[in-house]
Amino acid sequence: MLQSPTTSSWTRVSPLEVLITRACDPSLHEPNYAAHIEVAEYINNKKANTPREAAMTIARLANNRNPHISMLALSLLDTLVQSCGYPFHLQISTKEFLNELVRRFPERPPPYPNAIMSRILELINTWKEGICVESRWKEDLSNIRDMHRLLTFKGYRFRDFARPTQSQPTAANANLKSAVELEEEDRAAQSAKLQELIRRGTPRDLAAAQELMKSLAGADPEAKPDYKTQALHEINKLESKVVLMNEMLDNVDMERGEKFVEGDAYDQVAEILRAARPKLQKWASEVDVESHDSESLDTFLQMNDQINTVLNRYEAFKKGDYSFAANPIPAELSNAGSASAGTGLSLIDFDDSTNANANPTTRPKWLFNVITTSCDTGERSVCGFSGAVLAIGVWSTGTEEDGHGIGHLGPRNIGFRTA
Please give the Cα distance from 219 to 224 (Å, whole number).
10
Q: What percent of the chain has pLDDT over 90?
A: 30
The whole-angstrom separation of Cα 63 and Cα 43 is 22
In this predicted structure, the answer to whether residue 349 has a pLDDT above a threshold of 90 is: no
Residue 25 has a pLDDT of: 93
Q: How confident is the model at residue 345 (pLDDT cuts 50, 70, 90)?
A: very low
Strand partners, 226: none
- The SS3 call for residue 3 is coil
The mean predicted confidence, pLDDT, of the chain is 75
Q: What is the mean pLDDT of residues 325-349?
A: 49
Please say if the pLDDT value at position 336 is more than 50: no
pLDDT: is 379 or 72 the higher one? 72
Options 3.10.580.10, 1.20.58.160, 3.90.1150.10, 1.20.210.10; CATH of 227-326: 1.20.58.160
Q: What percent of the chain has pLDDT over 70?
A: 68
Domain boundaries, the chain: 13-164, 227-326, 331-413
Q: Who contacts 116 (Cβ-Cβ below 8 Å, separation ≥6)?
A: 62, 67, 70, 71, 74
- Say whether domain 13-164 belongs to CATH 1.25.40.90: yes
pLDDT reported for residue 249: 82
Whether the per-residue pLDDT at 3 is higher than 70: the answer is: no
Confidence bin at 412 (pLDDT 50/70/90)? very low
Max mean pLDDT among 195-199, 278-282, 403-407 falls in 195-199
- Of 33-47, 253-267, 301-315, 346-360, give the lowest mean pLDDT range: 346-360
Spatial distance between the Cα atoms of 36 and 24, rounded to a whole number of angstroms? 9
Which pLDDT band, with edges at 50, 70 and 90, does 293 fall under? low
**What pLDDT is attached to residue 326?**
65
- 187 pLDDT tier (thresholds 50, 70, 90): confident
Q: Tell me, yes or no, if the two domains 13-164 and 227-326 fold the same way.
A: no
Is residue 70 within a helix (H) or strand (E), and if so which, with residue range?
Answer: helix 67-83
Q: Looking at the predicted structure, is the pLDDT value of residue 195 above 80?
A: yes
Predicted pLDDT at 19: 94
Give the β-pairing of 391-396 and 366-371: antiparallel
Residue 124 · residue 147 · CB < 8 Å: yes
pLDDT tens digits along 26-44: 999 999 999 999 999 999 9
Q: What is the mean pLDDT of residues 302-306?
A: 87
* Average confidence (pLDDT) over 364-385: 38
Residue 134 has what pLDDT? 86
Residues 42/47/53/56 CA torsion (nearest 10 deg): 90
- List residues bridging with 371 in a β-sheet: 391
Is the CB of residue 52 less than 8 Å from the CB of residue 195? Answer: no
**Do 16 and 50 form a contact (C-beta atoms < 8 A)?**
yes
pTM summary value: 0.64
Q: How many residues does the chain have?
A: 419
pLDDT above 90: residue 80: yes
Q: Is pLDDT at 60 greater than 80 in this prediction?
A: yes
